[in-house]
Each structure stands twice: as structure tokens, then as C-alpha cells.
Amino acid sequence: MHVPDGFIDAPVSVAAGAVAAAAVAVSLRGARRELDERTAPLAGLVSAFIFAVQMLNFPVAAGTSGHLLGGALAAILVGPYTGVLCVSVVLLIQGVLFADGGLTALGVNITDMAIVTVVVAYALFRALVKVLPNGRGGVTSAAFVAALVSVPAAAVAFTGIYALGGTTDVALGKVFTAMVGVHVLIGIGEAVITAATVGAVIAVRPDLVHGARDLRRPLELKEATV
């Protein structure tokens, strides 16, 4: 879903850049609470893993493919603030080194692929974890649904940005329907990859999964020291 240069006009690109910069600044502060000397290297790895999986476009419909966005995965594994930063790092590397995603569109791309995916996915994930049965299955299912919804949410965000500053004159209803339609399909892939990865990490080290901290709370209480 990397927006190239020229889709969105300059004023809206600049505004999206300001939104992205503010969100990154907030995330840098918030990530401090999520990261320590154990989780910081893991968060770097999550970035690299998302970069790798983003290369794996899977077919979704005739002549169309999709790839992981990774916001849901990052937020659940290492926390929402760190998650925004993980995806932003990936987008920066892709834009600068791989010519993927326009440099003037970096703010747009961070806004819809890092911020919107993380906020939507993490809010939904937290809500679902509360109502689903406590345990690995509950967390994995919540991750599945959160990831699934985060992709069309990013498509809606793109449509909104296009409405404000699109350089072409395409009916918004058409853009909305086409974008959301195909991204629901891509969201299924996002959900499968996210649930599989979260499930695999929880199976071996639930203590290192930010979104599964509730699973280990009873264990933690026992070893708590004053």
C-alpha cells in the first residue's frame, strides 16, 4: 500500500508529514516504557522481520497481490508505541534504499500504514482480549481479528487522505469501494501471518509478548519482590 510521489498534493503531503512526525515523537516517548535492555533488541528484530515479510506479496484476486503491513503484529509483540516506530523504520528504509513509497509521501505512508494500523489493531486487540477466554487461543484469535480489520482501516485512511489532497479527480465512492474491497482480502493474509507469528512466539516465550502480559500475570505475582 506504499503511496508513490504524485498521488497526493504538496499541502496534504506536508500536513501528513506533520502528523507522522508528531506521532513518531509521541511514540519515542511512549516506547521508553515498553522497552528495556531485553525488549529493545527484540523490537529491532520485529522491524527487520516486518521488512522481510513485506517482500512476500501473496495473490489475493485476479492480477492483484497484497503484503503484510505489520502494524498489528508489531503492536501486539512489542507494544503500540514501539509498533508505530517499528513500521516507520521499515517505511523509511524502503523509501530511501528501495525506492518503494515516495519520499514526499513518507508522511502519508507512515500515517496510514504505521499509525492507523497500530491504533486500530491495538485498540481492537485490547478489547477482544478482555472478552475472549484468557489463554493462548484467546490472544491469537484477538490478534487475527485485529490484524484483519487494520488493513481495510488503512485503506479507509488512504481514501480520506486522497479526498483531501488527491492529485487526480476520481469519484471518492469508487476509490473507497475499490480500496476497502481489495484490502479486506489482503487483511485476511495479514490476519493469518499475524496470528501465526504471535501464536508461535507465545508458544515458546509468552513473557516476551507485550500483548500477552496478562497471561503471565499470575506467575509474576508469585515471584514479585518488594
Partner 1 sequence: MAAVTDTPKRGGIRPLWIAGLIAALVLAGFVSYYASASPDGLEKVAADHGIDKRTEDHAAKDSPLADYQTKDVGDARLSGGLAGVIGVGATLALGTGVFWVVRRRPRADEG
Of 26, 127, 164, 178, the one binding partner 1 by CB under 8 A: 178
Write down the least CB distance from residue 186 to partner 1, Å: 5
Cα separation values, 16 from 10, 96, 107, 160, Å: 10, 18, 5, 11
**Does residue 167 interact with partner 1 by CB under 8 A?**
yes
- With binding defined as CB under 8 A, does residue 221 bind partner 1? no
Q: Is 72 in the site for partner 1 (CB under 8 A)?
A: no
Among all chains, which residue has been given the C-alpha cell 516465550?
205
Give the x/- contact pattern for partner 1 in 105-144, rule: CB under 8 A.
----------------------------------------
Contacting range for partner 1; rule: CB under 8 A; set: 11-19, 55-63, 128-136, 138-146: 55-63
Q: Is 70 in the site for partner 1 (CB under 8 A)?
A: no
Indicate which single residue of 20, 60, 149, 157 sits in contact with partner 1 (rule: CB under 8 A): 60
State the minimum distance, in angstroms, from the CB of residue 49 to partner 1: 5
Give the contact letters, 17-36, x = binds to partner 1 (CB under 8 A), - = no: -----------x--xxx-xx
Does residue number 196 form part of the binding site for partner 1 (CB under 8 A)?
A: no
Q: Which of 10, 18, 21, 59 is in the footprint of partner 1 by CB under 8 A? A: 59
Q: Which of 11, 21, 174, 203 binds partner 1 (CB under 8 A)?
A: 174
What does the block give as the cell for 188? 485476511
Cβ–Cβ contacts within 10 Å for residue 111, how many? Answer: 24
Q: Which three cell numbers stand for residue 85?
A: 516506530
25-32 contacts, C-beta under 8 A, 24 or more apart: 26/81, 27/81, 27/82, 27/84, 27/85, 27/88, 28/81, 28/85, 29/81, 30/79, 30/80, 30/81, 30/82, 31/79, 31/81, 31/82, 31/85
Q: Which of 54, 44, 49, 45 is nearest to 2 (CA)?
A: 54
Kindly state the cell numbers that stand for 148: 484483519
Q: Which of 12, 16, 23, 46 binds partner 1 (CB under 8 A)?
A: 46
φ/ψ of residue 62, rounded to 5: -50, 115
Per-residue cell: 57: 506479496
